Structure 1
Amino acid sequence: MTEIAIKRALLSVSDKSGLVELGQALAAKGVELVSTGGTAKALREAGLTVKDVSDLTGFPEMMDGRVKTLHPMVHGGLLAVRDDAGHAASMQEHGIGAIDLVVVNLYPFAQTVAKGAERDEIIENIDIGGPSMVRSAAKNHAYVAIVTDPADYALVASGVTTMEDRKRFAAKAFAATAEYDAMIASWFGFGDQRQMFPDQLSFPLRKAEGLRYGENPHQSAALYIPAGPSARGIAQATQVQGKELSYNNYNDADAALELVSEFRDGPPTVVIVKHANPCGVATGETLIEAHQAALACDSVSAFGGIIAVNRPLDGKTAEAISGIFTEVVAAPDADDEAKAVFAKKKNLRLLLTGELPDPKRGGLSMKTIAGGVLIQSRDNGQIAEADLKVVTKRQPTEQELKDCLFAWTVAKHVKSNAIVYAKDNATAGVGAGQMNRLESARIAAWKAKDAADKAGWTTPRTIGSAVASDAFFPFADGLLAAVEAGATAVIQPGGSIRDQEVIDAADEAGLAMVFTGMRHFRH
């Protein structure tokens, strides 16, 4: 059947928005309204005639409302194939009336979890009758329209539904119940049972927006966000201005935000990212000072880059950022002067994130592979000065320790193999994603020298710097390259069978070296 006139509608909603208007529109078309509990009360208060489900079933609501719609008089009216002689005979024999429209949205399970409710309240907000009606109606969409989203009320207000609409409603309805069940399963696994890796992983996602394309124009892409409670991040940022964000924009902005969040309780900090790797990071007394120092690390790579800051943006910093082509700027907030400056750059995307993510938060990291998904806990490991073990004859100075920890924090966010030189709370050179650590050390030193040449400095900032390696030096050659670049202190995880060889090389060069006991591979 293509078009079906709605003669009877069953309405049972948790979210009452638009309910009365829909009820009025249906009643005006002569539709009989059947409802439950609070929904029936809201409709009656609006002056509408409503039949209780208990009148339909002959049974009262019982067990605190747990049992009300789970009855053949309801589900028979939803599941009956209207042009099947056997079904029609059963309906006539048992006095089952057809239901042509079901309007349901489910108990607010996710909202109950999000507000920190006790376990008993969470359990009571697991809807049973609602999903059952939704699935019955959706299965029988050839005859029944199922509406689960108030945004679709206007499509049934006319009192007639089309097959195309009913098919679309059904698809949406099954997605809604799948998402709902996934949120419940996720809560039971992660929240209630504290299982990081349950045997069956349910992770409900909701499409936030379609993207122009993926990493390349021939790839399609979309942004999805968790359907239930989740930590805020780049996906929840408010875009104030600029072009639509691309897949690469989101990926790079996320990398920048995650790194700058490491400094959320520290001094003003600026992170510049290109192709998901930081090319300049610095702290300063002000954001503009931090930006100048971060940009000086690699002004070439910063062109067309992504910038994240850990303080609300001011006009002077916005002016400085606008001096070079920048794709995206992410900040907790921005004052009116900063917004006015960026408004002149119509293609620049300004994202306001509110509170920065907590770098110590838990959660999962996912990566698809052919035929499966790799899942691990987030790399939220952090190292403090008290965790460091000095392994060389020379002790690091106080400033060297600060530079070591700064370089280590940045190296955690650089693609492996990662080498980061830092001095005076700013990166001096970054070597990322090479197949061996020696090449990363050489590239980082070369970039520092190139930056010095462009800035007109007499020496690169690697002279007197600290160098961080995201994993241990397997041979002394990478460390010797750092010595050649002028580094005086080294921070690395340690743990190689050749640790002593590397320590001896550091001692011979007069370096101070500390071990963290923690590595930060980032693939």
Structure 2
Amino acid sequence: MKRRALISVSDKTGLSDFAKALQEADFEVISTGGTQRALEAAGVRVVGISEVTNFPEILDGRVKTLHPLIHGGLLADREKEAHRQALQEHAIEPIDLVVVNLYPFKETISKEGAEDADAIDNIDIGGPAMLRAAAKNHAHAAVVTDPEDYPRVLEEARNNGIRFETRRHLAAKAFRHTAAYDALVAEYMTEEAFPETMTLTYEKKQTLRYGENPHQGASFYQHPLPADSSIAAAKQLHGKELSYNNINDVNAAFALVSEFSDTKAAVAVKHTNPCGVGIANTLSAAFEEAYAADPVSIFGGIVALNDTVDADTAEQLATIFLEVIIAPDYSHDALELLQKKKNIRLLKVDMAGGGNVSHALTSVSGGMLVQEDDVKGLADTDVKVATKRAPTAEEWRSLEFAWRVVKHVKSNAIVLTKGSRTVGVGAGQMNRVGAAEIAIAQAQSETQGSALGSDAFFPMKDTVETAMKAGVTAVIQPGGSKRDQESIDAADEAGITMVFTGMRHFRHA
């Protein structure tokens, strides 16, 4: 008995050979529009949809497969007598195989200057309907959305028929295909920041060896249209595959180094927290500052740089063990030098976009937290000097630097800076004094004349008193505590200048 295959695809990879092989396996091929023309040009015998439905394609092809003679053949449960009788009564022939992939909506909206009308025109209607119908009826029909599945389908079709396990697998893949397609369309059309439902779609970029720990499985997924300025779009130039922790740390380093579009900057990160940040007029000097900030913690860390890595900087980087370096580019000499280190991973990424995301997502048990990304900086705040003494020009520089860094440190966070580099970082502590003490201990003698940045306000004056004893001369914090005046008075008594921003930067995840 001749079987029937309905083929209608935008991705025609391997299509002609597949269709010819189906015919050799005694399939009758039904097709539409451009797919029909392509198959006929390749010498495949094709029955047009209009020949099946006895109805022409209309509305510029928007209506062609949405017809009972098609969907009856797709959805009939052949084990039910009533369904078999309905097929016979209405002269509907079953369809055994559906090969469909959808209008190129993603490709259309990714084009520069894409028009909304073109995007809307590339929202597929008939394709998803056929896929869902065949996938629902996978007990009797097979559905193929991916050319990579052609060999498996052909092999089974030539032998004892496509197995139920294969049909089930392909059905699930078809539902994922249509769900991802609809999610991208919905994202394109949605204007609300937080709609009543949020359906996300991501594509697997790579399978990872494991997650945070060897006993955890993991994969890296990317948005279907990742921004050029994103970790998902980064190009790996050298080294073994990135690990789960590498990607997480690189993302943190990239976000922080992107804060410094006005100067050369180098950021060293361990476990998503910065351990050293330096700024300077040259990249090599910036890295020298970042390294000096914490020459111990940088070992085995991630380094992000916001300018082309030159030979001088590469020589410095090559002297220590680093997991990953990420930068917008590398000079020929720098790349040649760094590639001599077998285990280091070198990433290249566009940093013009700042590395920000529109929404930050955090999974929780049974749900997900969604928030706008924290992209605001000092220019977005209502800065005011809270103490009698105003900062000097040098203190302002250190305070602004501390404020850029502290928003990228896990809360509770304290950052000590001196001009062009961090000197101490206290991250992720249960109380703010503890974070200050860690930063001060790390800075050692460098605390004298340093500036202190805090991601949130001081609920008591104890942090100011701790800073005063260490020789800190300037503090930047959000303010807003009921006991702000205690901290202000303590700072005035010690001759410390303190600036309020009116904006906090908690970072818990």
| TM-score bracket, shorter-length normalisation | over 0.9
Give the TM-score of the pair, scaled to structure 1.
0.91
Amino acid at match of 1:520: H
| 1:255 maps to 2:252 | yes
Amino acid at match of 1:389: K
Q: Which residue of 2 aligns with 1:202?
A: 199
Q: Give the Cα separation in 1 of the matches to 2:306 and 2:212.
A: 27
Superposed CA deviations along residues 152-192 of structure 1, whole A, max 9, x for unmatched, are 22333455352133222111111101111222222333xxx
Q: Is the 8 Å Cα contact of residues 227 and 233 (structure 2) preserved in structure 1?
A: no
Give the TM-score of the pair, scaled to structure 2.
0.93
Amino acid at match of 2:351: E
Q: Which residue of 2 aligns with 1:162?
A: 162
Q: Which residue of 1 aligns with 2:56?
A: 60
Superposed CA deviations along residues 275-320 of structure 1, whole A, max 9, x for unmatched, are 1100000012222211111011111111111111111222332221
Amino acid at match of 2:465: L
Moved more, 52-61 or 87-96: 87-96
Q: Give the Cα separation in 2 of the matches to 1:167 and 1:369.
A: 30
| 1:472 maps to 2:457 | yes
Amino acid at match of 1:136: A
| 1:488 maps to 2:488 | no
Q: 1:418 to 1:206 in 2, by over 3 A?
A: same
| 1:306 maps to 2:302 | yes
Q: Is the 8 Å Cα contact of residues 418 and 434 (structure 1) preserved in structure 2?
A: yes
Moved more, 208-217 or 288-297: 208-217
Q: Which residue of 2 aligns with 1:409?
A: 404
Superposed CA deviations along residues 418-451 of structure 1, whole A, max 9, x for unmatched, are 11111122111111111111111111111011xx
Q: Is the 8 Å Cα contact of residues 491 and 514 (structure 1) preserved in structure 2?
A: yes
Q: Is the 8 Å Cα contact of residues 222 and 232 (structure 2) preserved in structure 1?
A: yes
Q: 3-state SS of the aligned residue for 1:138?
A: helix
Deviation at 1:387, TM superposition (A): 4.1
Q: Is the 8 Å Cα contact of residues 290 and 422 (structure 2) preserved in structure 1?
A: yes
Amino acid at match of 1:432: A
Deviation at 1:99, TM superposition (A): 1.9
Superposed CA deviations along residues 37-87 of structure 1, whole A, max 9, x for unmatched, are 111122223333322101100111112222110111111222223454433
Identity %: 53
Q: Is the 8 Å Cα contact of residues 249 and 271 (structure 2) preserved in structure 1?
A: yes
**Aligned residue pairs: how many?**
503
Quick one: which of 471, 482, 486 aligns to 1:501? 486
Q: Which residue of 2 aligns with 1:455?
A: none
Q: Give the Cα separation in 1 of the matches to 2:501 and 2:107.
A: 41
Q: Which residue of 2 aligns with 1:445?
A: 440
Q: Give the Cα separation in 1 of the matches to 2:115 and 2:233.
A: 27
Q: Is the 8 Å Cα contact of residues 311 and 331 (structure 2) preserved in structure 1?
A: yes
Q: Is the 8 Å Cα contact of residues 384 and 405 (structure 1) preserved in structure 2?
A: no
Q: 3-state SS of the aligned residue for 1:482?
A: helix
Give structure 1 regions of 4+ aligned residues with deviation exceeding 6 angstroms. none
Matches within 5 A, 1:54-93: 54-93=50-89
Q: Which residue of 2 aligns with 1:344?
A: 340
Moved more, 118-127 or 101-110: 118-127
Moved more, 78-87 or 239-248: 78-87
| 1:520 maps to 2:505 | yes
Matches within 5 A, 1:9-158: 9-115=5-111, 117-157=114-154
Q: 3-state SS of the aligned residue for 1:173?
A: helix
Q: Which residue of 1 aligns with 2:208?
A: 211
Superposed CA deviations along residues 396-427 of structure 1, whole A, max 9, x for unmatched, are 12221111111100000001111111112211
| 1:368 maps to 2:363 | yes
Q: 1:502 to 1:226 in 2, by over 3 A?
A: same
Q: 1:520 to 1:245 in 2, by over 3 A?
A: same
Q: Is the 8 Å Cα contact of residues 6 and 100 (structure 1) preserved in structure 2?
A: no
Q: Is the 8 Å Cα contact of residues 6 and 101 (structure 1) preserved in structure 2?
A: no
Q: Give the Cα separation in 1 of the matches to 2:75 and 2:248.
A: 46
Moved more, 483-492 or 294-303: 483-492
Q: Give the Cα separation in 2 of the matches to 1:252 and 1:362.
A: 16
Give structure 2 stretches of 5+ with no counterpart: none
Amino acid at match of 1:173: A
Q: Give the Cα separation in 1 of the matches to 2:224 and 2:447.
A: 46
Q: Which residue of 2 aligns with 1:226?
A: 223
Q: 1:386 to 1:89 in 2, by over 3 A?
A: closer
Deviation at 1:28, TM superposition (A): 4.2
Q: Is the 8 Å Cα contact of residues 431 and 443 (structure 1) preserved in structure 2?
A: yes
Q: Give the Cα separation in 2 of the matches to 1:8 and 1:336.
A: 57
Deviation at 1:521, TM superposition (A): 0.5
Q: Is the 8 Å Cα contact of residues 179 and 227 (structure 1) preserved in structure 2?
A: no
Superposed CA deviations along residues 326-360 of structure 1, whole A, max 9, x for unmatched, are 1111111223322222322222221222335425x
Q: Give the Cα separation in 1 of the matches to 2:240 and 2:453.
A: 37
Q: 3-state SS of the aligned residue for 1:300?
A: coil
Q: 3-state SS of the aligned residue for 1:222?
A: strand
Q: Give the Cα separation in 2 of the matches to 1:36 and 1:126.
A: 17
Deviation at 1:231, TM superposition (A): 6.1
Q: Give the Cα separation in 2 of the matches to 1:121 and 1:385.
A: 37
Matches within 5 A, 1:230-241: 230=227, 232-241=229-238
Superposed CA deviations along residues 347-395 of structure 1, whole A, max 9, x for unmatched, are 2221222335425x55111112222211111111111398421122222
Q: 3-state SS of the aligned residue for 1:49?
A: coil
Q: Give the Cα separation in 2 of the matches to 1:22 and 1:394.
A: 79
Deviation at 1:228, TM superposition (A): 4.6
